[in-house]
Amino acid sequence: MRTFLLLEGIEQRLKEALKDWKMDDPSEPSGFKTPQIYIGQLPPRKGSRPGEHQKGSQNQSHYPYVIIVLTDGEGKATGSMRESFVSIGIISGIHVEESRDDYRHGVESILNLNDKIITTINDYRLWADNYYEHTQPVNYSLGLPQSIDPYSTGLQAEAPYFAVVAQTKFERKYQAAQLDTAINHQIGIPSWSNN
C-alpha cells in the first residue's frame, strides 16, 4: 500500500543529496552532468518509439543514471501484528570507454557515487512518511546481481556501461486494525464501520 511512497521518498532524498554532484559527461557542453534519477527503469530513448523521428537520437544519453527498483518483498502476520519487508536496489551506472585509463576512472567515479548513495540511505531511519524504517545494512555489488533483470530496467540498450548496485531492506510493522482502517479510508468506508 505504501511501497511506491517509499520509492518516491528514496528518489526525492537522492535528488537532494546529488543535486550538486557532477560526473564526467563528454556529451555535455560543460563536460559534466548531474546523475539522472529514475524509478523502475530508464525511459526509452527519444526517437526509439514507432513514429518518432530518429534524427539526433543517437546522441541522447541517460548517463550517469541512478535507477531505484523494488527487488522483492515479504509480508507476514503474527497475531494482530503485521510486518512487511521491502528490498530495494539502487543501480548507479555510467558509460565506460574501452581504454584502461578511462575504465579505471569510471570505476572510481561510480564507487564514489555509490558511497554517497549509501551515506544518504543510512542518514535516515524513517522513510515514506514514517511508514518504513531502515535499520538493515546496505550491501553492494559491482555489476547487476541476478535479482535485477537488465531488460526490465531498460539497461540492455545502454551498453557499454559500468554499474554498481546498492541493496537494502526497509521494514514496516503495524497493527492489523491500522491496516484495515487505512484501506477503508482509502476506498471511502467510514472508520466506525470497522468494528
- Residue-wise pLDDT for 14-71, tens only, equals 999 999 998 877 667 887 888 999 999 888 765 444 444 444 444 456 678 899 999 9
- CATH code for the domain in which residue 155 is found: 3.30.2000.30
Residue 55 within any structural domain of the chain = no
Residue 12 confidence (pLDDT) above 90: yes
User: What confidence score (pLDDT) does residue 175 get?
Assistant: 58
What radius of gyration do the chain's Cα atoms show? 20
Residue 51 within any structural domain of the chain = no
Asked if 64 and 163 count as a contact pair (C-beta separation under 8 A), the reply is: no
- Residue-wise pLDDT for 93-144, tens only, equals 887 665 556 777 778 888 999 999 999 999 999 998 888 999 999 999 887 7
Residue 189 within any structural domain of the chain = yes
Q: pTM for this structure?
A: 0.76
Residue 53 within any structural domain of the chain = no
Rounded to whole angstroms, what are the CA distances from 122 to 23, 31, 117, 166?
A: 22, 30, 9, 12
Number of structural domains found in the chain:
1
Q: Provide the domain limits for residue 131.
A: 3-44+60-194
